[in-house]
Amino acid sequence: MAGLTKNKYDVYKCSANDAIHFKLVRKEEDLDDDKSTFLPEMTHQVFGENESIFGYKDLTVEMYYTAAKLTPFINLQYITKIVPELHEGLQPDDVIGKLQEVIPPGFLTSRDAFINSIPKDAEFKPYGKLVHSFTVHKEGRDRQFEIYKTGIEAPGFRDYHEKLQTFILFFIDAASFIDVDDERWQFFLLFEKYKYNGNPMYAVAGYMTIYNYYAYPEKVRPRVSQVLVLPPFQRMGLCAEMLQTFYNDAYRRKEVLDITVEDPSENFQRVRDFVDVKNCQGLSSFQPSKLLKGFSEEMQKEAREKFKLNRRQARRVYEILRLKATDMSDKEQYKSYRLDMKKRLNAPFQKNGRDFDKLKNVLRPDEFSATLSSITEDQRHQYLESTFQENVETYRKVIDRLATH
């Protein structure tokens, strides 16, 4: 009987990842254009670990925003819905209630009201100061983008940021909202600038948050915290442009010691590697003849002075550029490269390094010492070899991208 009951209600279950439909609406026609719809990458931060919604048959959750002002519209479309009196007391999930926990109040629920709000985007002006504009050639046409730098104090930006940051819950894992009242936060906003009926218009494409940590005695260490390029604008090199724009701003600031990144995702690390390698490959200390001799203080110093790289990232850039300079058919050169990286990878077993610290943070002292001592020599060699191969594969992607720029 239990099985029958379960199956009976399966049609009322759906994946929130498929049910939620985002749109960034520029004109009324976009509402009925499936090509302008994009789906979330994840929903567990809003709908729980199973990322499922119960109680509706053929559910679509419309989460539409005007492209510039981000005026939000939320609406549920479904064929039928669970009614407790007719369905053994079962309750449908409160989808709007869950969304209200993460979306600022004041979103529209009337389609007509939303349609009436679309033309108001023509009044939108980006927040802060224009720091970079550039053109991307995509699918046979040139598209113009602008990047603005602002603090939270810009009139109207606090409310705008509240709407913008909602997206991170659906596209960045382990995302959390920031305390905007801390004046050390800095924001870089990315917009596409386009013409509609002859008028210049803006559409938000992404953003980045930076926290300026104090470094004794009078320096700062800016940390990249959140970076998001919205799905309709991905795979256009925009994240690299945004990162380089922030870098250029940091280079001009004498008080900046070096730049760090908070817990980067694999995708962001790849963009960061690409930008840093592209910048460093012209430095004298990173020339092939020097790379083949190993990582040096000169490299670290030059990367920090010219490009504000911290030691860990300078070392990573060195490994990528050394791989590029290594003749893989030369057994000695390849062996030397492999041993050099494995020596670094072996560091956690030598009681230092980031992985060692990570283990230390999550395990109790007794578990921690047991973990390190329980790794056999064979397991350690296996770990070193597989991590080496993974890194080489990641580095090759950066080198391949470099070749096309």
Residue 42 CA: distances (Å) to CA of 99, 174, 191, 230, 368: 14, 11, 24, 14, 32
User: What is d(CA 163, CA 230) in angstroms, rounded to the nearest whole number?
Assistant: 13
Question: pLDDT tens-digit profile of 243-278?
Answer: 999 999 999 999 999 999 998 999 999 999 999 999
| Residue 20 reports pLDDT greater than 60 | yes
pLDDT of residue 378: 83
Using a 10 angstrom Cβ sphere, with 0-12 exposed, 13-18 middle and 19 or more buried, the burial of residue 379 is: exposed
| Residue 319 reports pLDDT greater than 70 | yes
**Tokens representing residue 317 in the block:** 């850039």
Question: pLDDT tens-digit profile of 150-164?
Answer: 999 999 999 999 999
Q: What is the mean pLDDT of the chain?
A: 92
Using a 10 angstrom Cβ sphere, with 0-12 exposed, 13-18 middle and 19 or more buried, the burial of residue 106 is: exposed
- Average pLDDT, stretch 331-346? 94
- Average pLDDT, stretch 52-60? 96
Q: Sign of the CA dihedral 8, 99, 23, 18?
A: negative
pLDDT of residue 60: 97
- Average pLDDT, stretch 163-191? 95
pLDDT of residue 103: 94
Question: pLDDT tens-digit profile of 364-401?
Answer: 766 666 666 667 778 888 888 999 999 999 999 999 99
**Active-site option among 41, 153, 262, 390:** 262
Question: pLDDT tens-digit profile of 60-72?
Answer: 999 999 999 999 9
| Residue 347 reports pLDDT greater than 90 | no
- Average pLDDT, stretch 27-47? 96
**At 360, is the pLDDT very low, low, confident or very high (cuts 50, 70, 90)?**
low
| Residue 1 reports pLDDT greater than 50 | no
pTM, 2 dp: 0.90
| Residue 354 reports pLDDT greater than 80 | no
- What percentage of the chain has pLDDT greater than the value 70? 92
| Residue 4 reports pLDDT greater than 50 | no
**At 3, is the pLDDT very low, low, confident or very high (cuts 50, 70, 90)?**
very low
**At 96, is the pLDDT very low, low, confident or very high (cuts 50, 70, 90)?**
very high
Q: Sign of the CA dihedral 68, 236, 134, 139?
A: negative
**At 35, is the pLDDT very low, low, confident or very high (cuts 50, 70, 90)?**
very high
Asked, as a colleague might, if the bond just before 217 is cis with ω within 30 of 0, I would say: yes
pLDDT of residue 207: 98
Residues paired with 133 in a beta bridge:
146
pLDDT of residue 355: 60
> Over the chain, what HEC string results?
CHHHHHHHHHCCEEEHHHHEEEEEECCHHHHHCHHHEECCCCCHHHHCCCCEEECEECCEEEEEEECCCCCEEEEEECCEECCCCCCCCCCCCCHHHHHHCCCCCCCECCHHHHHHHHHHHHHCCCCCEEEEEEEEEECCEEEEEEEEEECCCCCCHHHHHHHHHCCHHHHCCCCCCCCCCCCCEEEEEEEEEEEECCEEEEEEEEEEEEEEEEECCCEEEEEEEEEEECHHHCCCCHHHHHHHHHHHHHHCCCCECCEEECCCCHHHHHHHHHHHHHHHCCCHHHCHHHHCCCCCHHHHHHHHHHHCECHHHHHHHHHHHHHHHCCCCCHHHHHHHHHHHHHHHCHHHHCCCHHHHHHHHHCCHHHHHHHHHHCCHHHHHHHHHHHHHHHHHHHHHHHHHHHCC
Q: Is 390 one of the catalytic residues?
A: no
